[in-house]
Structure 1
Amino acid sequence: SRSDPEVEAQRLRSLVSRQVDGIIISPCHGERSAEAVRASARAIPVVQLDRFALDTHTDWVGVDDDAAQGMIMDHLAAQGVRSAAFISSELTNSSTELRRAGFFRHAERVGIRTRDEWTLLGDYSIDWGRESSRSILASPTRPDAVVGADDLIALGVLQSCQALGLSVPGDVMVTGFDDIPFSALSNPPLTTIRQPQERIAAEATRLLDQAMNSDHTGTAHIALQPELVVRQSTVGHARVAAV
């Protein structure tokens, strides 16, 4: 759908009109995708994958975004981090919103300080990560860590650190989300969250098969546990927390 709710709605209507047995969808927008998902679910079984549209009452399976942010913040706190920035996409889908909410909730829980001006929302891209982080990192009061809502943003932050002559993780720590292949090849390799993609796909298929072959009318909400992958963007240099 190219992240366009109108294109997404057209394609859903087309699938329903062709009488497919069921649909697995990752809706592109939390609010604007909702009506099309609801309309499809009234006609055939629908399972939402990774992201979900609001008030749609279908089965859903994805990663536990809140638990993922808890893992990141626990790890950063253990490394001596006392302040952190969060760079993400605009809050247009459930995953983005849950990651942002989880960041702030767990930062408060572990005692990591945040600031409004350190929360930057744009898009999931290397360019956004690089450009948005520049002013934060150039400030004499920069945070100890930058948490990217995905790996592309975090890779852009690493580029910004390199351009400013900052050591990672010595001057600032950086984390991502998704564990894309490039995250292990960056300089330094990126600490990130790995999603259980095969399990998510298997559960989505199971839920759809169940809905198509039984009288199942429930709304399962299955949030699978992620894995924290620790690499050199957060470890490798001694760091002493200020007392």
Structure 2
Amino acid sequence: MNRRATIHDVAAAAGVSVATVSKAVNGRYGISTETVRRVLDAVQLLGYESSLVASSMRSRRTGVIGILVADFEPFSAEILKGVGAALRESSYDLLAYSGSGQHDGNGWERRSLSRLSGTLIDGAIMVTPTVVTAETEIPVVAIDPHTGRADLPTVESDSFGGALQATRYLIELGHRRIGFVAGRPDLRSAGLRDAGYRRALGEAGIPFDPSLVRVGLYQRETAREPALSLLRSPDRPTAVFAANDLSAIAIVQVAAELGLEVPGDLSVVGFDDIPEASQMNPALTTIRQPMQKLGAAAAGLLVALMNGETPAQTHIRLPTRLVPRATTAPPRVS
């Protein structure tokens, strides 16, 4: 089998540096017409025609949309499904990209966009990005950005309204000591869920008690210790609202380890409605945010921008709803 030609092969055949080939591919200034012609000739000679890079060099389009995620976890996986379904009947392919753990809070999205835009993708969807400004020539849409609305078109769920529903539901069941396991402090959506929890308590005349709040950071592993601390407290809550399902699942597991019955001794409500929520035993009561619809809405918005259209909305917020299941019940009467 013949080895596939690389950018180094193209550079050698054209008698130029790899950097020059890269500049020619990206259509940057400072490359003479004669040099570009030699690079194109080398591409054709080496059979490099089928690559996305060669195609983009000729047409300035790759026919590929990129979706950039910090990690491949349940939320981003559902987003991917929604984007994929929305693009199924289109002419676009989908490239899912994660920066290999280089998510240090200093703009991993900018680095990723720099690597991909122009030669591999025609547009990008960023999931929970830390930055909401992007110096790139391609259209970009952000899903659930850390800071909320900003320069980029955005798609998000109603985090505040969902948290309000969850806490109101527990209050309606008769709970008064309601704990909260919060998400990541750097995410605006997590702050909105905290605000919704507090608003529902205030509406019911229940004083906010900071001793009932822990930070779970949205991961099952990081939520375990906060859950243990909360459930081992002398005056533990009779119910807990978790800012996402992974944290809620950790709370249910910790409750079982401590000999607490769910929902007899402890009611638990999550947020997201990931597939595992309905499959666990007992099935998790949760707030459903339409994750696949978030992906589909972002894809539709991005395609419109790529086609030069002006969308009716550039900041989309989708509703959430309560899904009652088996982890919630009225508090046990002593």
TM-score, normalised with respect to structure 2: 0.63
Shift of 1:132: 0.9
Alignment map for 1:144-163 (pairs within 5 Å): 144-163=238-257
Amino acid at match of 1:39: E
Shift of 1:174: 0.8
Amino acid at match of 2:116: L
Matched residues, percent identical?
35
- Residue in 2 that maps onto 1:84: 178
Structure 2 residues without counterparts, runs of 5 or longer: 1-98
- Residue in 2 that maps onto 1:186: 280
Instruction: Report which stretch shifted further, 56-65 or 46-55.
Output: 46-55
Amino acid at match of 2:219: S
Q: 1:198 to 1:209 in 2, by over 3 A?
A: same
2:27 matches 1:27:
no
Inter-partner Cα distance in structure 2 for 1:183 and 1:55: 29
2:203 matches 1:102:
no
Q: What is the number of residues matched between the two proteins?
A: 233
SS at match of 1:208: helix
SS at match of 1:62: strand
Alignment map for 1:79-228 (pairs within 5 Å): 79-214=173-308, 216=310, 220-228=314-322
> Are the aligned partners of 2:266 and 2:331 in contact in 1 as well (CA < 8 Å)?
no
> Are the aligned partners of 1:85 and 1:114 in contact in 2 as well (CA < 8 Å)?
no
> Are the aligned partners of 2:142 and 2:155 in contact in 1 as well (CA < 8 Å)?
yes
- Residue in 2 that maps onto 1:230: 324
Q: 1:182 to 1:215 in 2, by over 3 A?
A: closer
Q: Higher relative contact order at CA 8 Å, sep ≥6: structure 1 or structure 2?
A: 1
Q: 1:201 to 1:135 in 2, by over 3 A?
A: closer
- Residue in 2 that maps onto 1:66: 160
Q: 1:21 to 1:49 in 2, by over 3 A?
A: same
> Are the aligned partners of 1:84 and 1:112 in contact in 2 as well (CA < 8 Å)?
no
> Are the aligned partners of 1:145 and 1:174 in contact in 2 as well (CA < 8 Å)?
yes
**1:19-56 deviations in whole A, cap 9, x for unaligned?**
73321111343xxx24xx3323xx33211113354563
TM-score, normalised with respect to structure 1: 0.84
Instruction: Report which stretch shifted further, 123-132 or 143-152.
Output: 123-132
Shift of 1:222: 1.2
2:142 matches 1:48:
yes
Question: How well do the aligned residues superpose, as a CA RMSD in angstroms?
Answer: 2.5
Structure 1 residues without counterparts, runs of 5 or longer: none
Give 1 or 2 for the bigger CA radius of gyration. Answer: 2
